[in-house]
Amino acid sequence: MSSPATPARSSSWLIVVLGFLVLAAAFSGRATLSLVMPDLEVEMGWTRTFLSGIAATSLMVMAGLAPFAGRFVDKHGARLVLVTGVVILGLGCFAVALSQGAVLFVLAFAGLFALGQGLAAMSVISTAIAQANPPRIGLATGIATSGATAGQLFIVPLIGAILLYADWRWCFAATGLLCLLLVPFLWRHMPGKPVDDDGADTAGAGKKTLRQDLLHILKSPTFHLLFWSFFICGYTTSGVIETHFMPFASFCGFGPVPSTMAFGVLSAANLGGMILVGWLTDRMNRPLLLGMIYLIRGLSFILLLNVGADYTTLVMFAVIFGVVDFSTVPVTASLVKSHLGLPVMGLSMGLISAGHAVGAALGAFLGGYLFDLYAAYYWVWLSSMALAVLAGLMVFLIRQKPPASMMTAAE
């Protein structure tokens, strides 16, 4: 029986495609909770604070798992991590669909599903791309990680259509089936251990201990600037917008179809933005690029503060915010590789992604809490605007390194 393909046999662009599909499935499952939140409130009698707390707990579980997943990829490659993650994701979606009460729902979504997404994560995909070392690595990372928003563009609207004819349980069941369909392709084609061009195993080539790698990472000013900016990134994207954009649209009086269409517009712009920024990452000053992304994101919240009942303003926000939504990922991953080194990239991205998840958990919970407190999202949008501008100013402090340094290991 033939063994699963190694990187020497699998095209680096095939790995990009597989990473794209994994993130499409994973992020669609997460967006489904936001989509069905009003239905859960009506059927189960749960408050938005409670549901936001479930989303926040899920993100915290992912935060705790991310560094360990990244470390494993550094030493052993991405195949086992991603296969395990996608299987758990699928089972988690089915468990959510079958849950009948609050306890089982929390265990299924904030437990099983969150564990799966902590493994099938952007940080793992970004590291797998870097290990494959494709030409135009920024563009490759942008395409692979854009699967996170492509799933929301193509899959979430279909889930919204299911919601018109069936209850919310079928939405999660459909996502679970999609996850499980990916498993054989990941096992066959995703690389096991990173290898060099001659096929020699380079996993764990450095003999440094976990403590030594952590000290190397934590002594870097660049790591701290990227960590805290990504914390803010999580607050303003996965926390605030991904969790509360569609409930906010519903609050403004827009129905499920217009709400999912606006979210689809945001996702389409997000898809294009990630690919564009991936392309620019290979060609321009990366700290400047990342800082501008955060500044534009912050200013976009001015539109959201003035939506009222105007659907056009909501769509305008979706376009502008979408372009600068997940587009931080390819340039952040590139800066991690060039400033911290490929041998610790998985661990570094895992730690930074953990910060993103904690920020997202804070944004998801505060969004629901402040809405229940004030019956409005005003303070959520205002805080997001201020924090995004702060993140932009922070990353301007990172020094640009020449492209050649991106190919070297950590010093």
Please state, in angstroms and rounded to a whole number, the distance separating the CA atoms of residues 262 and 257.
9
- Residue 111 CB coordination number (10 Å): 17
Strand partners, 195: 201
Which position has the token pair 């926390």? 239
The full length of the chain comes to: 411
Residue 89 in contact with residue 113, Cβ under 8 Å? yes
pLDDT, tens digit, for every residue of 384-408?
999 999 999 999 999 887 644 444 3
- Rounded Cα distance between 228 and 283, Å, is 25
Cα–Cα dist 337/328, whole Å: 14
pLDDT band at 84 (very low <50, low <70, confident <90, very high): very high
The mean per-residue pLDDT over the stretch 355-366 comes to: 86
Contact 262/314 with Cβ under 8 angstroms?
Answer: yes
Strand partners of residue 201: 195
Q: For the ranges 209-223, 231-245, 367-381, which has the lowest average pLDDT?
A: 367-381
Q: Domains for the chain: give ranges and CATH numbers.
A: 12-194+209-401 (1.20.1250.20)
Is the overall model pTM greater than 0.85, yes or no? no
Q: What is the pLDDT of residues 192-217, one digit of tens each?
A: 765 544 444 444 444 678 888 889 99
Provide the Cα torsion 4, 6, 7, 8; round to 10°.
-130
* Dihedrals phi, psi of 199, to nearest 5 degrees: 90, 5
Q: What is the DSSP string of 61-101?
A: HHHHHHHHHHHHHHHH-SHHHHHHHHHHHHHHHHHHHH--S
The encoded tokens of residue 383 equal: 């805080």
Give the pLDDT of residue 136.
82
Please tell me what DSSP assigns to residue 409. P
